[in-house]
Structure 1
């Protein structure tokens, strides 16, 4: 059979004979099975749907479009609810708005958004003087055709850059040290390969320089003559650092560093002091840093500490009492890291001197150096913390004081935000809970006073006091206590007799790469909460919420803990009266999508619906192919099933696609993007095809593919609101709340303007 024989490869969603064109289908598409048998470690694997990997095959495109048509037909009854939710999100949003300005050298930089426009703009105004560290207040009228601040200069109009493209993403922007040039990168397909351009901020014109195939953005050297950037290999591994001299062609760029170890990736940046350029090379378990001293460029790039398997570290430049030193965050003395000092010179780990020793109760995550203080990012008992170290006046008296920034809420997230200036006397920090909108503060290190600069406005009379937040603890199979963060509208659980009753709950999970799913506020989520549902985050192993041990216990041979923890959290919600299985919906994306696929196989009876976004559900096939994007760099996370029979067996025991069985699965919505380079569209496409062919009972499966997007989904805020409204409507339908009443919105603003 020819691959272009679309009709024989995929039976489209069917309609009765004689129905008019355009009539919605009444049954889902049926995909032809084309069995492919492979043998690994003496074991045969039969895959009926691997042919869907050929993105250029017209039959594949036809299948994805047929699935989209079925999903639209299957959810047609929710069209009104989707529109309502979109309007609720829009009604809660102050569409014309201004971010809090951040000082970089001689200007305050900020972004603007405008009603009716998908994208915003970036702007700046001059500082008022060398000691001007208080961000300027905007004009009361922030209309699109008016400057928000006196002397405003438009840097980038993202709507203009996005014009004519179905997808648009700004990868990064960086102003040259003399503040006369702006390097910025854009992606118009969603494949995360960016193009860098340079704009002359004095004239507004673009320079002839154009750098393609870049990951992220570009970094200036101190003189403002060169840009450093990163590119990827065929496996989408960041492997090369280049230097581009302004005014020359990309073909003339100098290759500064090539990382040949397939487990490692690289990146480039500049220290806050602007003295050092640094190249970081890292695998999942090992680090290595190179640095270039702008005060001594003839010395060239130097390796600070050569890579040693299992040793992770990063580098920060500090100045204490007029003396330069490196701060080293490392795990040489324990898994939860310590902070040490070292001279500005190549220095082995044995010569690092501890500043904050390793503490198994505190996971140290990062350190930022400023002229008068250090800011340490850490977590303890499952919560984020900011720690301030006031610096002394000499290297032998490095720390004058050491304390935490305190907050009163039971469950919260805090972190520094927008602190690019080495000389700044304050710390800009972000704070949020699941009920309190994202808030920006300036923290005065000397007086220890917090000044609220802005709380994200929420229109419609929103009041955080109308919601209750809690930290719950589930008990995993092995006895481990697993934290759950949960929020609901106050009174939603009250029954007529004054007691409590179960409510529908959306349970979210991720559990990989030591990425912590900390509590956060969401305006779209209010459309769930205000209809009587709850939202919970299961802080499962594989993430970093409870320290490095939490991560180590949820990867490689211990990966099953991630799935068991999530199931334990779901059972805890049911057993403690928070939820009931038929209205408990699970959601996760990417590696969290793998989690969704695994729990669907292992505990389908616990859930009334499952949403899997860009899901890594065909994990074993991917990890068996070293030529696919990211596979080799992922060996330290998942293992190498191609080389190790034990890893193969272990992954085969949980990989969602391989374990689809004749079970009565809950309804499943899988969402993916055609141009995703991290988790290829073929994984959810194959998964849904196998589920539909194998499952028994309800067999209610939907696949929705964005045909012009990447791993992060659609671009543009209105498009993203429509996208989320689609998913939320499906979730509410699974919860039995599609017709639930919701309190009307007024136009009161909750938040601090500016």
Structure 2
């Protein structure tokens, strides 16, 4: 035998041995994965009361006698998040999820690399003008958080680093910086930081000349903004149920107690600040989802008590901005369901003086009016899409013109506009194939100028195509569906498809660019958004047709969209997954109870699934304010209806698809115990062999990881899970990643 032949034989034997080892490991893993059993929560039945419970806020008309529902997992709730028995169970859930998804480790790592390849890691926002400076944020490759910077408007001015979030985040698993704002004289920088994910912040003020923090540190706040100058800060605090209920004024450098300006005692309402861009007024808002009340403070006469513009009247919603001698008001007054613009003299703000700026147009949903020195911008919706209109007062009349765009399907909204005296309006624009872009609209020339499109490396928009479909709902309503896919991978056969939905709080899920879905599209998966009722896509009525005792329309709309996509040949149940987060998690829970046969897998992110227990207990964050969204199960009028769709109570002995549930231990909006209990009940009741996995982040809240690289790793986990169940993983995805990423 020649040396070369011997070498070939040796190499061949080595390769065969290596392959055998790999197969042996895979076999061992497969056996382990099949044998490992999910954590089991012990059942400790508790009868939970609904109705008039002595000493508790149960709403205005609680039932008598009390009704009870049995909850075997009620004990999992621990407001302190320190119960070691519960924490150990959550750790075991994570371990179980790790084992069940271990075969996707290489896929996750490769998807992470792919996601990162679409990120311009070192980048900066287009600077926005504010006074004599240009402000912007930038990111640096390898740094997880943003740098807040500015430059003087003078030529070749050096950069000033105002705030380094990376320094702030050191030593913390979570770091959310918010309300970053320079003082009116640009000497100081105010900002808030939350290290837990619980959305309770500490406020700081930094002297930009010395670089040092001032002693004016304000604990346990939820919003922060400057007054007319750098001598005063306004901030808000929350009650024990996380409701923003008190508005305060802090005088910089003062040792006196801060001044309490307003307390909202009605637990259905929350209180907010809004400063007029003119700098003359601070508005104090108190609102529920169906009623609002606005007062104002004259910032050049701050000792003068707040003056109410219109006393709260059930069903009257309004917001206010300032322009010249008038307050401009967006309101549903006079049965204007989709809202209209009115105005009233600053000296006579009460409702009897309000007059229409434009005749009410039911085809336009008016969301906001943003006032500048010489013009206004109206934000709203028409034809199912977001829109912008420029308003220029001409004496007692107003000229209104719409900013138009070439694409038929898009998303547009205002950007950062800090200067009051300007002839330009900055906005951002996107579509499902167009990355987010920043524009300036010149009010005089009526032209939009592209300032910057967010760079997306390794993306060729010509490869992708969008469509807009309509599905007929069970009551005949036509429900829009937005699609995006790789046109060169589109086939006449049924393709893998991922369907996303939300459908609550009048929040629209608009067709915009999301780079994190590119790994789906590039593997032949169609991405679809169901614009279901309960959202705000088609106006206020679209929302009102799916709240209270019409909530089930949200779920049946989603089912109709899924059925339409199957009927028209885009996909099939065995090739379709679905996803929703928060209230969209409620959607997932309800739909999977109603039609589990429509999907092969689902992702429910921070899902609001324990509707009955949560909405009956006023001590749980957000509950009281949301009685005007879902209803109050303590009241006879809502108990049976809410019980009919609440995901946790309606888990059945039936087959369910594979389900991945994600949550955060410190989430104040959807508490960790909701998904934890739901997962336990699903496993106990379902009749199939599909997997229900719980992935609990033990250091974050509702909005997931604050570290941008950690966030991409979480996205990679979800995408690998979806691709696995859609059978869309490529062979190269299974190979060891080129990077050192370990997921």
- Scaled by the length of structure 1, the TM-score of the pair is 0.89
Distance in structure 1 (CA, Å) of the matches to 2:49 and 2:368: 44
- Residue 264 of structure 1 is aligned with which of 259, 269, 274? 269
1:339 corresponding residue in structure 2:
341
Aligned to 2:37: 27
Match status 1:50 vs 2:74: yes
How far off is 1:432 after superposition? Answer: 0.4
Shift of 1:601: 0.1
Match of 1:704 in 2: 695
1:593 matched to 2:599? The reply is no
1:313 equivalent to 2:339? Answer no
Task: Name 2:286's counterpart in structure 1.
Answer: 281
Counterparts of 1:300-449 in structure 2 under 5 Å?
Answer: 300-319=305-324, 324-333=325-334, 334-345=336-347, 347-392=349-394, 394=395, 396=396, 398-399=397-398, 401-449=399-447
Alpha-carbon distance, 1:119 to partner: 0.6
Q: CA deviation at 1:382?
A: 0.6
- My pick for the range that moved more, 406-415 or 534-543, is 406-415
Distance 1:264 1:336 in 2: 22
What is residue 9 of structure 1 aligned with on the other side? none
Question: Please, which moves more after superposition, 731-740 or 448-457?
Answer: 731-740
Aligned mate of 1:472, from 464, 469, 480:
469
SS of residue paired to 1:571 = helix
Alignment counterpart, residue 88 of structure 1, candidates 100, 114, 132: 114
Once residues 180 and 579 of structure 1 are traced to their aligned partners in structure 2, the CA distance between those partners, rounded to angstroms, is 58
State how far apart, in whole Å, the 1-side matches of 2:75 and 2:83 are.
9
Q: Match for residue 127 of structure 2?
A: 101
Q: Distance in 2 between matches of 1:37 and 1:275?
A: 55
Q: Give, in angstroms, the shift of residue 691 of structure 1.
A: 0.2
1:221 is aligned to 227
How much does 1:422 deviate? 1.2
Q: Which runs of 5+ in 1 are unaligned?
A: 1-18, 129-135, 137-148, 495-499, 745-754
* Mapping of residues 739-750 of structure 1, within 5 Å: 739=730
Deviation at 1:423, TM superposition (A): 1.1
Stretch deviating more after TM superposition (506-515 or 23-32): 23-32
Contact 1:85 1:725 in 2 (8 A): yes
Q: What is the TM-score normalised by the length of structure 2? A: 0.90
* In 1, Cα distance between equivalents of 2:257 and 2:374: 42
Taking the aligned partners of 2:100 and 2:43, their CA distance within structure 1 comes to 24
Q: Look up the match of 2:56.
A: none
Which residue of 127, 137, 144 maps to 1:118? 144
Question: Take 2:157 and 2:104, find their aligned partners in 1: how far apart are those partners?
Answer: 47
Tell me how far apart the structure 2 counterparts of residues 153 and 111 of structure 1 sit (CA, whole Å): 11
Cα shift at 1:91: 1.2
Report the Cα distance in structure 2 between the residues aligned to 1:353 and 1:346, rounded to whole angstroms: 12
Deviations 1:258-288 (A, max 9, x none): 0001100011131111111111110110111
Indicate conservation of the 8 Å contact 2:309/2:351, yes or no. Answer: no
1:162 equivalent in alignment to 2:169: yes
SS at match of 2:216: strand
For 1:232, the equivalent position in structure 2 comes to 238
Partner Cα distance (1:371, 1:254) in 2: 31
Where does 1:575-654 land on structure 2 (aligned, <5 Å)?
575-642=567-634, 644-654=635-645
How far apart are the structure 1 equivalents of 2:359 and 2:607?
Answer: 39
Where does 1:131-210 land on structure 2 (aligned, <5 Å)? 150-210=157-217
The 3-state SS of whatever aligns with 2:701 is coil
1: CA distance, partners of 2:578 / 2:295: 43
Alpha-carbon offset, residue 298 of structure 1: 4.4
Distance 1:97 1:347 in 2: 46
Task: Indicate conservation of the 8 Å contact 1:492/1:503, yes or no.
Answer: no
The structural deviation recorded for 1:647 is 0.3
Alignment check: 8 A CA contact 1:190 1:675 kept: yes
1:665 aligned partner? 656
Distance in structure 1 (CA, Å) of the matches to 2:434 and 2:721: 26
What is the alpha-carbon distance in structure 2 between the residues aligned to residue 243 and residue 654 of structure 1?
Answer: 44
Is this contact kept in 2: 1:86–1:721, CA < 8 A?
A: yes
The answer to whether 1:544 aligns with 2:525 is no
CA contact (8 A) 1:427 1:444 kept: yes
Whichever structure has more helix as a proportion of its residues is: 2
Residue 637 of structure 1: how far off its partner (Å)? 0.3
Unaligned 5+ segments in structure 2 are 1-27, 51-64, 736-743
Cα separation, 2, equivalents of 1:298 and 1:183: 23
What does residue 24 of structure 2 align with?
A: none
Q: CA deviation at 1:350?
A: 3.1
Measure how far apart 1:230 and its partner are: 0.5
Q: 1:487 aligns with which of 484, 487, 501?
A: 484
Give, in whole Å, the separation in 1 of the partners of 2:596 and 2:589. Answer: 10
Preserved contact between residue 241 and residue 255 of structure 1 (Cα < 8 Å): yes
Runs in 1 of length 4+ with deviation above 6 angstroms?
none
Matched, 1:687 2:672: no
Aligned-pair CA distance for 1:38: 2.9
Conserved? CA contact 1:516–1:545, under 8 Å: yes
| Aligned equivalent of 2:260, options 252, 255, 259 | 255
State the alpha-carbon separation in 2 of the partners of residues 164 and 228 from structure 1. Answer: 29
Report the CA distance between 1:347 and its aligned residue: 2.6
Contact persistence 2:552–2:645 (CA under 8 A): yes
Superposed CA RMSD: 1.7
Counterpart of 1:730 in structure 2 is: 721
Q: Structure 1, residues 132-172: CA drift from partner, whole Å, max 9, x if none?
A: xxxx9xxxxxxxxxxxx732111000100101101000021
> Match for residue 562 of structure 1?
554
Structure 1, 378-387 or 681-690: larger mean CA deviation: 378-387
